[in-house]
Amino acid sequence: MGRAIAVQLANDGFDVGVNDIPSKLTLLETLVKEIEGLNRKSIAVPGDVTSEGQVKAMVEEAVAKLGSLDVMVANAGIYHASSLLTSPLEEFEQTLAVNTRGPLLCYRYAAKQMIAQGRGGRIIGAASVAAKRPYPGSIFYNISKFAVRGLTQTAAVELGEHNITVNAYAPGFTLTPMLEDADVDNSKKYGLAAGEFIKRGIDVTPLKRVGQVQDIANMVSFLASDKASYITGQTSSGTSHREKTRILFADFVEARLPRLPLKCTSASHSLSGPRSQLRSVRDIDAHNAKHVFTNAGQANVNLP
């Protein structure tokens, strides 16, 4: 998913800095070359989004090499099937570290940089439809994604006066390695045939199909664009597992958003985290450079 987001933002005109854990450096370098092939600047910034020092350093490197930070996409995420009664607390701590602490740190250091730049920006996080209705057998994941939803709404209120919008996307069943892992975990836990977990999810989805990563990349593209300049505090789903159609901008949080000049015609991005989160946006104004930080697996666009 993080890769699709990074490529989409590059196609939107952003320069992109991508980040994942150091063991994924080869994948990040391949993604950098792909983005450069789209005539955008890109950098790889390996690091762990659960580390405050490394997130701070990722943002600083993105700004140093791409010029500024205007969009942060905190896409990091992991999943384990889990039970209130039997799952070890070590799994809870690991899930919260990546899925909740990671976005918190990315939001924090992106916001600090955007405030220092004085022209607003976009912060976008990865929630899940599980942030609205919990998946059975996934208590730790559900908690972590409910927390991202609360983080996003609260940050929107706090950062609105700086013309920074904060939103999250909440995918339902989307075809990623994480969904495949969830299918394996739940098949073992409940004795299901391989693929049955995914099939049951599709059966209760309004569009009767699994989502594609490009569907999510399209939503992130919109939230990073000038068209979303008066949307904040949202956790937005398209078609959702176990939910009927929803109003896209439900649960709106009214944060103060002074109408400062904020052009996002062209952009550069930085990606970081268990995917990548650095992106930079370059304005039509020669001196108004803008940058995005996105998570891919773990974060920046983090590459799950």
**Count of C-beta atoms within a 10 Å radius of residue 170:** 26
The catalytically annotated residue of 24, 41, 132, 145 is 145
The catalytically annotated residue of 141, 169, 188, 199 is 141
Beta strand 164-169 with 71-74 is unpaired
Give yes or no for a contact between 160 and 256, defined as CB atoms under 8 angstroms apart: yes
- Respond yes or no: is residue 145 known to be catalytic: yes
Tokens of 98: 């990546």
First to last CA, the chain: 6
- Respond yes or no: is residue 135 known to be catalytic: no
Question: DSSP string spanning the chain?
Answer: -HHHHHHHHHHTTEEEEE---GGGHHHHHHHHHHHHTTT--EEE----TT-HHHHHHHHHHHHHHHS---EEEE-------B-TTTS-HHHHHHHHIIIIIHHHHHHHHHHHHHHHHTS-EEEEEE--GGGTSPPTTBHHHHHHHHHHHHHHHHHHHHHGGGTEEEEEE---SB-SHHHHHHHHHHHHHHTPPTTHHHHHHHHTSTTSS-B-HHHHHHHHHHHTSGGGTT--S-EE-SS-TT-----TT-S-------------SS-EEEEEEESB-EEEEE-SSTT-EEEEEEEETEEEEE--
Q: Please list the active-site residues.
A: 141, 145
